[in-house]
Structure 1
Amino acid sequence: MKKLCIFIYSLGGGGAEKAALELAIGLQNSYDVKIMLFSDVVKYELPASIDYEILDEFDFYSNPIKKLLKLPLLAYKYANFCKKNSIDISLSFLSRPNIISILSKFFGNQTKIIISEHSTPSYYYGSSLPETILKKMLENLYPKADKIIAVSKGTKDDLVTAFNVPESKITILHNPIDIERIKKMAKEHVDFDFDGFIFITCGRLIESKNTAMLIRAFAKASLQNTKLLILGEGEDRESLEKLSKAVGVDKSVYFIGFTQNPYAYMNKADCFVFGSKLEALPTVLIEALSCNLPIISTDCPSGPDEILCGTDFAFENGIKTAKYGILTELDNEDAFCLAMKTIFTDETLRQKYKKNSSIRAMDFEKTKIFENYKAYLN
C-alpha cells in the first residue's frame, strides 16, 4: 500500500482543513495515510486510524519576513520526514504548505509532490513586501510541482493567468462532502429558540468573510420576527458584536461561536447567507445545500457562481436569481438587503431553492469525489 502524507497548517475550523480530513478518512482504505501539521490545533474529530505529526510549531502571527525566512528550514524538515517515512505521495493544502512541499525537492525529497490550491491567490495576497515575495514564490515554484489540484475553475484560471502555471499541470477536483453524515447530524437537537424566520451564516469571523456587511444588510432589511445566527469564531467577533448593537439589531443577531455541529442549526434555519469577499469553492455553501437551505451569497471570486449558477444568469438591481440560489454583486449592501427581502417574502422561490438544493449537493458527494481522487493519485 502506498504511503500518502496530507500536509496542511492545522485541523482548525476552515473549509480546506475539513476537506483535508475528509480525504484522509476517505482514502485510508487505499493508502497508508499520515497527516502533517504546523500546529496542534485539531477542532474536528479525528479517527484513531489516522496518525498526525507536527512539523514545527508555527507562529501564524509572527513577523511576515521571519515566516518567509523560515520556509527553507521547514522544507528541509519536511524532506527528512518524507525520506524517513518512505512517503510516496505528498498532498499539500494552502500556499505555505504547498511552497514547503515544493522546496523540499531541493533537499533531496523524491516523493511525488502534489499541491492543492484552495484560494484565488492573486486576489488573496496584497501589495506588502512579504505578500509580493510570496506571490513571486508561487509564480516560480508552483510550476515545479509534479501535479496541481485546483478546487474550482476560478482557482485554475487564476493560477494560469496570474502566475503563469501551465494549464496542462492543473486538474480541477472538488472538495468531498459527507452528505449522509451532514443529514444525520442535522437531526440532532440544539438548545435554541428557532421561533420566527432564521437567516444563518457560518465561517471565521475575519475581515475577508465580510460578516459586517451581512449585519448591516440585515439591519437595513428590517424584517419582522427575523433572526440572524452567526456561527464561528475569529478576531472580528468583538467588533461585530459592537456593530450589531450600533445598528440596532443586537437583540436579533446571535453569535453562537464555533460548533462541531453547525448542521443542526442550519436544519432549523430558513435561509443561508454568505457575504465573503474572496473564496475558491466555499465548502459551507455545499453544506448548506445539503441541509436543503435556500442560499444568498455574494458573487465573489471564485466559487459561489460555480456552485449556485448552473448556467449563465444576468444581474438585475445587483441581484442574480440563479438556478440554485441568489447571488449579489460583491460588497453591495443594498443588493444583499433586497435579496434578503426577496427570499423572506417569496415562498414559491424558497420552496424552489429547497427542492434544488439537495439535487445540486449530490454533485459534491464524497464517494464520487474520493473515486476522482483515487484515479488522479494513481
Structure 2
Amino acid sequence: MKNILFITHNLKGGGIQKITLDTARYYSKNGYNVNILTFEKGLDFNIDFTCQHSTLSLVNFLFKNPHLGFYYIIYKLILRYLFPDSEPLWQAPIYKKMLINFLKDKEEFEAIFINGSRSMNRLYSLNLPNMVFSLHLPCRYALKDNIYYNYIFKKIFSNVKVFTVSNFILQPILNKAKRLNVDIKAIETIYNPCDKINFNLKGNESIDISEPFILAVGRLCSQKRFDLLIDAYKQSNIKTKLVILGEGNQRENLEKQISQLHLSDQILLKGFDCNPYKWMKKCQFFVLSSDIEGFVLVINEALACGAPVIATDCGPVTEILVGKLKNGIVPKGDVTALSSKIIEYSERPIYPDNDSVDKLSFASITKSQLMLAKK
C-alpha cells in the first residue's frame, strides 16, 4: 500500500485544516495509507476515514533537548520582537529536527504535503525530494519589499516545490522570485478540490430553521469582516434572517454589534458546524464579506450545493465567480455596495450551473498534486 503524509499546524476549525482532511479522506478511500501530522492538539472535525493522526509535542521535544529549549526561550522572549515575522529564521531548525525524528522510523512516503504558510515557515529547510508545500493565503514575504523580507523570501523559496491555491497568491511569488533570481524548483497553481456529490448528500441533513435565510460561514475573525456584513444587512432593511456559522475571537464584538443594532432576532450566530453544507443547500443565497482570502474554498462549496453567491473582491474570487456568476462580486469594504447586492439577490438571485465546480474534482486535483511531488 502506498503511504502519504499530510502536515499542518492543527486540525481546529479553519479552511486549511478542512481541506487537509477532505483531501486525506479522498486518498484514504482510494487505497493510500494516510498519515496526518500536526504540531498542536485540537480537533474540531470528525475524522471519519482510516488514517494515523499524530501530534508532535514541542514541549516534550525541547525537554529532551535542553540546548534547543534554551534557544527557543531566547526566540520567544527576545528575537521575535527584535525581528518581526522571523519565524522561518529561528524556529525552522527546531521543527526540522522534530520532523526528522518523526520520519526516521516510518516507511517511505510517496508524497509529503505540508499545508499552510505556518508549516512551510517551519519546515522549508528539510526539503525532501517528495515534499510539497502549499500556500492558501498571500505570502507576506512576497508582498513586502525590503532587504530583510527579501532575505527571508530567498531562504524559504529556494529549491522547493510549492503550489498555491490561486493565481492571486501565485503571481506575487513568481514576480519576486524572478526579480531576486530565486530558483524555485517547481511552483504552480492547484485549486482546492470540491466534492459536489458528497456535499449534496451532507446537504440533506436537517437544520433547526424552517424559514428562508441568508448564510455566511467562516472563522469569527477580523479578516472575515462579519462586522461589515452585519452593517450591510442592517442597511438593506430586508426581513430574511442572516445565519452566520463559525467561532472565533470576534464573537463578543459581533454579539455586541448585533445587539446595538437591535438585530438579535434577525442575525443568528450558530457557532461552528462541521457540516455547513446542510445550511448551504437550504439558504436563499450565500455571502462572503472578507477583506482578503487565498482561495475562498467556501465559495466553491456553496456553489457545489447550488447556492447563489455574493462575495467581496477579496482576492481570487474572480477566478471562481466567472460568467454570469461574476455579477455577485462587490468591492471589498464597501457597506453600501454589499447592501445593494443583498437587496438585489433577495429579489433576483443568480444560481450556479452544473459546470461551475466540476473542474475542481478530487480526481483531477489530487492527480496534479502527485505529479508535482514526483517532479
TM-score interval, normalised by the smaller of the two chains: 0.7 to 0.9
The 8 Å contact of residues 99 and 142 in structure 1, kept in 2 or not, is answered as no
1:362 alignment partner, one of 336, 355, 358: 358
SS for the counterpart of 2:281 is: helix
Indicate the residue corresponding to 1:156 in structure 2: 170
Structure 1 residue 119, shift from structure 2 partner: 0.7
Q: Does 1:186 align with 2:199?
A: no
Indicate the residue corresponding to 1:318 in structure 2: none
The residue identity in structure 2 corresponding to 1:328 is V
Return 5+ residue gaps in structure 1 as ranges. Answer: 311-321
1:40-51 matches, within 5 Å, as 40-47=41-48, 49-51=50-52
Indicate the residue corresponding to 1:174 in structure 2: 191
The 8 Å contact of residues 55 and 74 in structure 1, kept in 2 or not, is answered as no
Indicate the residue corresponding to 2:257 in structure 1: 243
Q: Does 1:93 align with 2:100?
A: no
The residue identity in structure 1 corresponding to 2:309 is I
Structure 1 residue 84, shift from structure 2 partner: 2.8
Q: Does 1:276 align with 2:293?
A: no
Structure 1 residue 265, shift from structure 2 partner: 1.5
Tell me the C-alpha RMSD between the 2 structures.
Answer: 2.8
SS for the counterpart of 1:84 is: coil
The 1:238–1:126 alpha-carbon spacing in structure 2 relative to 1, beyond 3 Å, is: farther
Q: Does 1:104 align with 2:104?
A: no
The 8 Å contact of residues 90 and 101 in structure 1, kept in 2 or not, is answered as no
The 8 Å contact of residues 9 and 38 in structure 2, kept in 1 or not, is answered as yes
Indicate the residue corresponding to 1:313 in structure 2: none
Structure 1 residue 216, shift from structure 2 partner: 0.3
In 1, Cα distance between the equivalents of 2:240 and 2:320? Answer: 27
Indicate the residue corresponding to 1:195 in structure 2: 211
The 8 Å contact of residues 102 and 141 in structure 1, kept in 2 or not, is answered as yes
| Greater CA drift, 29-38 or 172-181 | 29-38
In 1, Cα distance between the equivalents of 2:286 and 2:195? Answer: 19
1:216-295 matches, within 5 Å, as 216-223=231-238, 225-295=239-309
Pairs aligned (count): 347
Indicate the residue corresponding to 2:103 in structure 1: 82
1:308-347 matches, within 5 Å, as 308-310=321-323, 322-323=324-325, 325-346=327-348
Return 5+ residue gaps in structure 2 as ranges. Answer: 60-75
The 8 Å contact of residues 294 and 325 in structure 1, kept in 2 or not, is answered as no
Q: Deviations over 1:111-161 (max 9, x none)?
A: 52211111112399889x9xx97775344212231x111111111102112
Structure 1 residue 201, shift from structure 2 partner: 0.2
Q: Does 1:144 align with 2:146?
A: no
The 1:280–1:84 alpha-carbon spacing in structure 2 relative to 1, beyond 3 Å, is: same
Indicate the residue corresponding to 2:92 in structure 1: 71
- When normalised by structure 1's length, the TM-score is 0.83
Indicate the residue corresponding to 2:5 in structure 1: 5
Indicate the residue corresponding to 2:229 in structure 1: 214
SS for the counterpart of 2:351 is: helix
In 1, Cα distance between the equivalents of 2:148 and 2:167? Answer: 25
The 1:355–1:120 alpha-carbon spacing in structure 2 relative to 1, beyond 3 Å, is: closer
The 1:124–1:209 alpha-carbon spacing in structure 2 relative to 1, beyond 3 Å, is: farther
The 8 Å contact of residues 183 and 290 in structure 1, kept in 2 or not, is answered as yes
The 1:218–1:27 alpha-carbon spacing in structure 2 relative to 1, beyond 3 Å, is: same
1:120 alignment partner, one of 106, 114, 138: 138
Structure 1 residue 175, shift from structure 2 partner: 1.1
Task: State percent identity of aligned pairs.
Answer: 23
Indicate the residue corresponding to 2:312 in structure 1: 298
Q: Deviations over 1:295-352 (max 9, x none)?
A: 1100012x21110024xxxxxxxxxxx5355101111111111111111122xxx2xx
